Amino acid sequence: MADVFVSYARSDKARVAPLVAAIEAQGWSVWWDPEIDAGQQFDDQIEAELNAAKAVLVVWTPTSVASRWVRGEAREAADRGVLVPARFDGARLPMDVRAIHTTDLDGWGDNTASAPLQALLKALGAMIARQGGPGSGNGAAPASPQPSRIGICVLPFANMSGDPEQEYFSDGISEDIITDLSKVSALVVASRNSAFMYKGTKVDVAKVARELNVSHVLEGSVRKAGGRVRITAQLVHGASNDSVWAERYDRDLNDIFALQDEISQAIVKALKLKLLPEEKQAIERRGTDNVEAYNLYLMARQTYITGNSADDRAASAIIRLCSRATEIDPNYARAWALMALGQTQLRDLRGGQADDGLAAADRALALDPNLAEAHAIKAAILAEGGRYDEGAAEIAIALGLDPESYEVNRSAGYFSFRRQQLDDAIRHFEKAMALVETDVNSACMLLTCYTALGNSQGTRHAAQLALSRTEAALKHDANNGTVTGYSAYALAALGESGRAKQRMARALLIDPDNLNMRYNFACALSVHLKETDAALDMLEPVLAKLAGSFLDHAKVDPDLDPLREDPRFRTMLAAAEARLSTGSH
């Protein structure tokens, strides 16, 4: 049996062959093109090889994505935790494997020294090492052995403070440890989204390790009271369920940064790994040394990542929290960047009567030119002002600095959407959703994109995700108009018109002036419920008040396409443009 099983479409054989040669040059055996007739014998051999392979390389192309055989083999590999996907031609990946990191190979050019190929070989080497190293294969030693990396999942630390409102702090600590460990080259760290799936559940560590294909799991708790913080942490070996390292820290809250560094370095030491000097420096770089400013930033970020920030109350809270954080520490670049984001959202919600966020974004970049989130928010602000070329440059910088950032992918998704590049928008919104499990906005944007492209399977799946996430959010705040708008939109897409309309009626009684909510109701009525007059009634007060950036969004939003030829819509749109051209609100 071979070390690597390659799944691909037969029509792509010419571009797969150089990949196979490069893999075999590492000393790994490959099963990819058997000389065997189709039939039961063929099916049996495929199944046997697929189940025995230590790594399954799936080569996604527009052709292979459409192959039920390739998709089936990918699902089998994902279930076993041995999937290593690669992609050509920006192929749109199947929904059920999009959260798995995929190597883009468009630029490798059959060059064995190219960065994309080396990244793929590194991923294959790590997977093979986790599964027990090279098999019988051809017996050759790898030409340049790939260093094995240890897989670890940081479960969300339990909030033991006795106050649900302190959840933001325990979540923030968990996120920071994930971020710190991700800077260690010898580790493969499960994403925040994967780890936070287990939040609030009774955890079976061995099961988590199997499901996420990691060797170790870190679990712990946080208790914050007054000026003290107590953190317990335990590193467990997934297969044996043995504790590798455990510690309890009881410190002054002002020691929180040193404590986080201590935990990360203790884990590295327990795993017998070497922390490179530049990795140690990266871990210790917090952005602020002030605990109060850090605490305020965590509160603001929690509001943002719930996906509820497109709400007047939430956007205002983000601005107030970040304003106070930057008063305490004027050099806190992350707080300036998040403030800019809140300001842009509030400007949209208040019909342009708020700061556009550009000054705050520029301040963040002046303090830290390598802050990806600041470049991303500046790109959004520039695009809202019609400066798309400058915005595109900022997005490119942001993605280059941190392609795994939630804020960067969400901003890149909106930027692509505004430019009507829906395939790119889908890719970024899906990545944002994979990074943060509470993001409801990206789920609804995905729903819009898939609907516009006529992808019924994608539309239904995105609607189900959006509904699931909005239902969870509404359990915590049943009167949140913005989330209700998203949930009604998802219900309408799923054909549940009665429930959608009930939610609209209730929300309009509670929060009648919420422009974002009304806009989403109008979209649901327009494209999914096919009720033009009702959609126009819902949209009329929105177009009478919305800001120019919001109007630009409406002009390209495919959800409003059914209305564009209606004389009433044209009149409303013209009135909005005239109002904004004169600077009146």
Asked whether residue 42 carries a pLDDT value surpassing 80, the answer given is no
| CATH number assigned to the domain comprising residue 457 | 1.25.40
| Same domain, residue pair 185 and 116 | no
Same domain assignment for residues 115 and 157? no
Q: Which of 326-330, 467-471, 482-486 has the highest mean pLDDT?
A: 326-330
Looking at the structure, tell me whether residues 170 and 273 fall in a common domain: yes
Instruction: Check residue 273 and give its pLDDT.
Output: 81
pLDDT at 287: 82
Residues paired with 248 in a beta bridge: 232
Amino acid 496: pLDDT: 95
Q: Is the pLDDT of residue 354 over 70?
A: no
The share of the chain scoring above pLDDT 90, in percent, equals 31
pLDDT digits (tens, 9 = 90+) for 96-113: 677 678 888 877 777 777
pLDDT at 138: 38
What's the whole-number average pLDDT of the chain?
Answer: 84
Q: Which pLDDT value is given to residue 136? A: 39
Give me the domain span that covers residue 227.
150-286
Q: pLDDT band for position 227 (50/70/90)?
A: confident
Which of 230, 265, 286 delimits the end of a domain? 286
CATH of the domain at 63: 3.40.50.10140
- pLDDT tens-digit profile of 152-192? 999 999 988 877 778 888 888 888 888 888 888 788 888 77
Same domain, 188 and 116: no
* Domain match, 267 and 226 both: yes
pLDDT value for 537: 95
> 143 lies in a domain?
no
Q: Which of 257, 286, 315 is the last residue of a domain?
A: 286
The string of pLDDT tens digits covering residues 61-72 is 888 888 888 888
The reply to whether 210 and 269 lie within a common domain is yes
The answer to which of 353-357, 359-363, 413-417, 472-476 has the lowest mean pLDDT is 353-357
With tokens 């071979």, the residue in question is 2
Of the chain, the end-to-end C-alpha distance in Å amounts to: 70
Residue with tokens 């422009």: 515
Has residue 58 been placed in a domain? yes
175 and 222 in one domain?
yes
Task: State yes or no: pLDDT of 149 exceeds 80.
Answer: no
**In the predicted structure, residue 143 carries a pLDDT above the cut 50:** no
Same domain as 569, residue 478: yes
Q: How confident is the model at residue 336 (pLDDT cuts 50, 70, 90)?
A: very high
Quick one: DSSP state of residue 91? P
Does residue 93 lie within any of the structural domains?
yes
Regarding whether 125 and 154 lie in a shared domain, the answer is no
**pLDDT, tens only, 539-551:** 999 888 876 667 8
506 in a domain, yes or no? yes
Q: Give the tokens for residue 428.
A: 């970024």
Does 78 share its domain with 154? no
Mean pLDDT of 36-43: 47
In this structure, what CATH number is given to the domain that contains residue 264?
3.40.50.10070
Residue 36, pLDDT > 50, answer no
pLDDT at residue 399 greater than cutoff 80: yes
Tokens 């492209």 belong to 453
Q: Is residue 144's pLDDT more than 70?
A: no
- Number of C-beta neighbours around residue 362 at 10 A: 15
pLDDT of residue 127: 87
Q: How far apart are CA 519 and CA 98, in angstroms?
A: 29
Give CB contacts under 8 A, 24+ apart, made by 45-49: 46/73, 48/1, 49/1, 49/2, 49/5
Domain count, the chain: 3
Give the highest mean pLDDT range of 20-34, 104-118, 212-226, 301-315. 212-226
Same domain, 70 and 98: yes
The answer as to whether 335 is a domain residue is: no
Domain match, 207 and 126 both:
no
The answer to whether position 49 is within a domain reads: yes
551 or 374: whose pLDDT is higher?
374
Domain boundary among 246, 265, 286: 286
DSSP 28-66: --EE------SSHHHHHHHHHHHHH-SEEEEEE-HHHHT
In 3D space, the residue among 461, 462, 409, 473 whose CA is nearest the CA of residue 435 turns out to be 409
Residue 188 lies in a domain: yes
Q: Which DSSP string corresponds to 337-359? A: HHHHHHHHHHHHHTTT-S--SHH
Contact 333, 368 (CB under 8 A): yes
Confirm whether 328 is domain-assigned: no
